[in-house]
Structure 1
Amino acid sequence: MELGSRMEKNDQFLQTLGKKIVNKCLDLNSCGLTTADVRKMVALLPFLPDLEELDISWNDFVGGNLPSITQQMHVTSKLKVLRLASCRLTTEDVRALGEALEMIPELEELNLSWNSKVGGNLPLILQKFQKGSKIHVLELMDCALTSEDGAFVGRLLPKLQSLEVLDLSINRNIGGSLNSIAQGLQSASTLKVLKLHSCGLSQKSVKILDAAFRYLGELRKLDLSCNKELGGGFEDASAPLVMLKHLEVLDLHQCSLTVDDIMSLIEASIHLPALETVNLSWNKCVGGNLKLFLETLKLSTSLQVLRLSSCSLVTEDVELLASVIRMGHLTKLQKLDLSYNDGICDAGWAIFCQNLWFLKELTELDISLRPSHFRDCGHWFRYLLCAVSKLPEITEIGMKRWTLPASQEEELGSFDQDPKRRGIHFDHGEFR
C-alpha cells in the first residue's frame, strides 16, 4: 500500500508538470522546477532503475541541489544520457557530479553547457573517465573553460575512444591550449562533430589544427565560426581539409576570411563530395568574388544549404549564381540565405528570380534587407512569385524590410488566396 501511494504521488508530480516517462526517458527540460520539485524528483528516481535518459536542463533551482540528485545515481546505473545545461551549477554541484559519474558506467552523452562553474573545475568532473569510456557526446558550450581546462581535454581525448561529438564552443580562453587539444584529437578517430565556435582561435590555430584534421577521417561537421582572428589562417591550410572526405557541414561564418583564404578553401572544397552545408556568412570578402566559387558550385552535387548572409554580394555575384542554377547545378539545394546583401540592384534580383524555379527542392529562401535599410521592390517581385509557384517544396520566403507598392500587394494577396499555395509563408515583417 505504501509503494502504491508513493507511485501515485510520483504520477501526480509528473502530471503537474505535464510530463511522463517515455521510452525510459525522463525529460524535465525547462519545467521551472522549484527546490521542492527537485526533492520530489529525487524521491522518484529509486522507482526508475531502468532509466536511460535524464534531462533537467534550463532549471535554475537544480543549482545548489545537485548533490541530492547524484546521491541517487547508484539506482540509475543504466543511465546513458545526462543533460544538465544551464542549471546554475555551483562548485559543490560540480564536485558531487564528478564523484557520481563513476556510478553510471553506461553513460554515452553528457551536456554541461552554460554552467560557468564548470570552468576551472573540469578535471573534478571528468577525472573518473577512464580508457574504454562509452561516452559518445560531450557538450561543454559556454562553460567559462580555462586554458588549463583545455589542456585537460587534450589529455582526456585519447581515453574517449567512442567519442563522436565534441562541443567546446564559446570558451574564449581555450585557444591558448589548442596545441594540447589538437594533440588529443589525433586519437579521436571516431569523431564526427567538432564545434569550436567562438573559441578565440587565431591564424596560428588553423595551422595547429592542421595536424589533427588528417586523423579525423570520419568527421561530418566542422564549426569554426565566429573566430574573428582566424582570417588569413587558411591560406596554407587546404591540404588537411582534403582528407575530410565525409565532411557534410563546414561553418566559417564571421571569421574575417581573406580572398586568399577563400582561394585555399576552394582548392579543398572540390575534393569534398559529401559537403551538404556551407556557411560563409558575414565574411565581406566573398562579395565581388563569388566567381571564385564557380567550380565548387558546379561540382557540389550534394549541397543542400548555402548561407551567404551579409557577404557584401554585388549584382555580378547573384547573376553568376543564377547562371549556375540555370545550368542545372545545385539541384539538391534546400535552403539559400542571401539576406543582408543590400548592394544588389533590381536587375540582378530580376535575373536571379527568373532562374530560381530550377531549384525544385528549395524549401527556404531569405533575401531580407538589413534592419536599418528599407527599399522598394522592383518588377522582379512578379518574377519571384512566378518562380515560387513552380517550386513544389518551398514553404518560407524571408523578405523583411522590402517595400511593396499597392499593385504588388494585390499580386501577393491573390497569390496567398490560392489554396494550392497556402503553405507558403512570406516572412516580410511589415511591408511599407
Structure 2
Amino acid sequence: MSRTEKKSSSDGETTPQAPLVNESIRGSKSRFPKAGSRKESIDPKTTDSQSQNKIPKTISDLAKTLTSETELGSRMEENEWFLQKLGRKAVNKCLDLNNCRLTAADVRETVALLPSLPDLEKLDISWNDVIGGNLHVFTQQMHLVSKLKILRLGSCRLTAEDVRALGEALKVLPELEELNLSWNSKVGGNLPLILQTLQEGSKIQTLEFVDCSLTSEDGVFVGQLLPRLQNLEVLDLSINRNIGGSLNSIAHGLKSTSNLKVLKLHSCGLSQKSVKLLDAAFRYLRELRTLDLSCNKELGGGFEDTAGLATLEHLEGLDLHQCSLTADDVLSLTHVIPLLSSLQELDLSANKEMGSSSENLLSRLRFLPVLKSLIISNCALKSETFTALASVIQTGHLARLQKLDLSYNDSICEAGWTIFCQNLWLLKELTELDISLRPSTFRKCGQWFRHLLSAVTKLPKITEIGMKRWLLSASQEEELQGFDQDQRSSIHFDHGGFQ
C-alpha cells in the first residue's frame, strides 16, 4: 500500500456525530451533585455534633471536586486546541494523527491526551518519522487505553528499542484486533519480540507487516503463531522477499486459520514449490476472499496442478500479475478460474506468455457472472485473443464489468481493435477503459476510433478512457473535439502523447 493510499484510507472514515473530547467533558460534569441531593442523603437521626463534623468535610470534598473538574475542563480545552492545530480531532473513540508531521513536542502532547480518552478504540500515528525512537513515550501509557482495538504504526521509522517496547505494551491491550507495522524495517528479525504475547484465544483479526524486512526466521515464527490466531481474517506479508524460504512453515500454519479472508504475499520471493505448498493449504481456507501472489517472478510453472485453488468458492479477488506464468500455467488456470464463480477482480497483467495461450482462458470468462475488474495489461495479446474476448462480450456474460485494462498490448492489429470496439457498447456498467500503448510506442489510430466514439455514447457510466500514445489524424481530432463539446463532456479521454 502506498503512502497516498494510506492517507486516503484514513480520510475516508465516517465522521461521527460529536467529538470525543466534548463527550469526556460532559461525562465528568455529570458527576456533580444536584442541588439538594447532599441534604437528602443526611440521616435525620444524626446528632448535631456528628453533623458539624461532617459538614466541613463535605464542603472540603466538594471544593476539591470543583477544582479537579475545573482543571479537567482546562486540560480538555488545551487538548482540543492541540488537535485543531493539527487539523484533526478525536471523535467516535478514534484518534487519527496519520501523516501529521508530528514533532517531538506533538508526541508529548498526544500522550497527554490519553488519560482523557479511556474508551479509545483506534489509534493511528502512521507516517510520522518522529515516532521512531520515541515510541516508548506511548507504550508506557498504553494501560490508559486498554480498550484499544486498532493500532497503526506504519512508516514510523521504529527502532529495535521501539519494537521491544511495543511487545511489552501489547500485554496490556487484550482487546486488540488490528496491528499494522508496515514499512518499518527494524521489525525484521524482531517479530517474535512483538507477537510472542499473543496467546490462543487472541482477538487479533488483522496483521499487516508490508515491507518490514522480515527474515526467514520471522516467517517460521509466523507459521508457528498462526494456529493460535483463530480469529485472524487478514494477513499481509507483502514485500518481504526472504520469507519465501520459510513458506513451508507459513503454509502449514495457514491450515489452522479457517476464518482467513485476505492473504497477501505480493513480492515475497515465492517459487514453484511455494505454489504447491499454498495449494495444499487452500483446501482449509474456504472463507478466503482476496488472494494476492503478484510480483513473484519465480512462480512460473507452479500453477500446472492447482486443484486446491479451485476450492476457493468465495474468492472475490485474484492477483497474479507479473508471476512469469507459463503456457501450461495458463492452461491450468483455464480450467480453474471458471470454477471461481464469486470472482469480481482478476489481474493477470505483465505475463508475456498469456499472449499465445490466453484465447481459451478469456473465452471462459463467461463463467464469472459477477466479474467487475479485468486487468490483462502488457500480456502480448494477439488479435485472436481480442476476438475471443469480443465472443464473450457479445453474449452478455460480462454485463457487470466496470474496469477493463488492455493497455500495453501493442501487437493487436487493426482488425482486432475494430471487432473489440464494435462490441464495446454492450458493457453497460463500464466506468474505466485503458487501451494505452507502452511508453516506447506510438501508433496511428485506425478506423476503429470511430467505432470507439460510437460505443462510448451508449455507455451511461463511462468516465475514464486511457489512450496514451495513440496518434490521431486531423479529422479524428475534429471528431474528438466535437465529442467533447456535446453532452458527454464528463468523459475524460487521457490522450497525453497525441501529436
Check whether TM > 0.5: yes
Match of residue 51 from structure 2: none
SS at match of 1:156: helix
Match of residue 435 from structure 2: 367
**Matched-pair contact (CA < 8 Å) for 2:445–2:471:** yes
2:100 to 26, 31, 40: 31
Match of residue 217 from structure 2: 148
Distance apart, 1:271 and its partner CA: 1.4
**Matched-pair contact (CA < 8 Å) for 2:79–2:113:** yes
Rounded to whole Å, the distance in 2 between the matches of 1:285 and 1:71 is 55
- Correspondence 1:279 to 2:338: no
Rounded to whole Å, the distance in 1 between the matches of 2:362 and 2:376 is 14
Distance apart, 1:332 and its partner CA: 1.1
Report which stretch shifted further, 356-365 or 421-430: 421-430
**Matched-pair contact (CA < 8 Å) for 2:417–2:448:** yes
Distance apart, 1:5 and its partner CA: 2.1
**Matched-pair contact (CA < 8 Å) for 2:294–2:323:** yes
**Matched-pair contact (CA < 8 Å) for 2:331–2:357:** no
SS at match of 2:424: helix
**TM-score (normalizing by structure 2):** 0.85
SS at match of 2:339: coil
**Matched-pair contact (CA < 8 Å) for 2:267–2:295:** yes
**Matched-pair contact (CA < 8 Å) for 1:288–1:316:** no
Deviations 1:199-242 (A, max 9, x none): 000011111112211100000111100000000011122x1111
Distance apart, 1:122 and its partner CA: 0.1
Match of residue 285 from structure 2: 216
Rounded to whole Å, the distance in 1 between the matches of 2:288 and 2:215 is 26
Match of residue 323 from structure 2: 255
- Correspondence 1:231 to 2:307: no
Distance apart, 1:24 and its partner CA: 1.3
1:123 to 164, 180, 192: 192
Distance apart, 1:288 and its partner CA: 2.8
Rounded to whole Å, the distance in 2 between the matches of 1:294 and 1:26 is 46
1:98 to 154, 167, 172: 167
* 1:18-417 paired onto structure 2 within 5 Å: 18-237=87-306, 239-417=307-485
Corresponding letter in the other structure for 2:273: K
Distance apart, 1:320 and its partner CA: 1.8
Deviations 1:403-432 (A, max 9, x none): 12222222112212223x232111222422
Deviations 1:378-407 (A, max 9, x none): 121121111111111111111111112222
Rounded to whole Å, the distance in 1 between the matches of 2:144 and 2:459 is 54
**Matched-pair contact (CA < 8 Å) for 2:271–2:299:** yes
Rounded to whole Å, the distance in 2 between the matches of 1:31 and 1:422 is 37
Rounded to whole Å, the distance in 1 between the matches of 2:334 and 2:92 is 45
Deviations 1:239-296 (A, max 9, x none): 1111111111111000000011111112111211111111100001111322221452
Corresponding letter in the other structure for 2:260: L
Match of residue 52 from structure 2: none
**TM-score (normalizing by structure 1):** 0.98
**Matched-pair contact (CA < 8 Å) for 1:141–1:169:** yes
**Matched-pair contact (CA < 8 Å) for 2:362–2:385:** no
**Matched-pair contact (CA < 8 Å) for 1:55–1:82:** yes
SS at match of 1:170: coil
* Bigger Rg, structure 1 or 2: 2
Deviations 1:293-322 (A, max 9, x none): 145212111111111000001222112211
SS at match of 1:110: strand
Rounded to whole Å, the distance in 2 between the matches of 1:161 and 1:294 is 37
Distance apart, 1:353 and its partner CA: 0.7
**Runs of at least 4 residues off by over 6 Å:** none
**Matched-pair contact (CA < 8 Å) for 1:141–1:168:** yes
Corresponding letter in the other structure for 1:402: W
**Matched-pair contact (CA < 8 Å) for 2:322–2:348:** yes
Identity %: 72
Corresponding letter in the other structure for 2:295: C
Rounded to whole Å, the distance in 1 between the matches of 2:104 and 2:414 is 59
**Matched-pair contact (CA < 8 Å) for 2:360–2:388:** no
How many pairs were matched up? Answer: 430
SS at match of 1:270: helix
SS at match of 1:42: helix
Give the alignment's Cα RMSD to 1 decimal: 1.1
Corresponding letter in the other structure for 1:305: S
Rounded to whole Å, the distance in 2 between the matches of 1:91 and 1:36 is 22
Report which stretch shifted further, 402-411 or 247-256: 402-411
SS at match of 2:356: coil
**Matched-pair contact (CA < 8 Å) for 2:404–2:432:** yes
Match of residue 84 from structure 2: 15
Gaps of 5+ in 2: 1-69
Rounded to whole Å, the distance in 1 between the matches of 2:498 and 2:171 is 58
Distance apart, 1:323 and its partner CA: 2.0
Rounded to whole Å, the distance in 2 between the matches of 1:338 and 1:78 is 48
2:491 to 412, 421, 424: 424
**Matched-pair contact (CA < 8 Å) for 2:237–2:266:** yes
Gaps of 5+ in 1: none
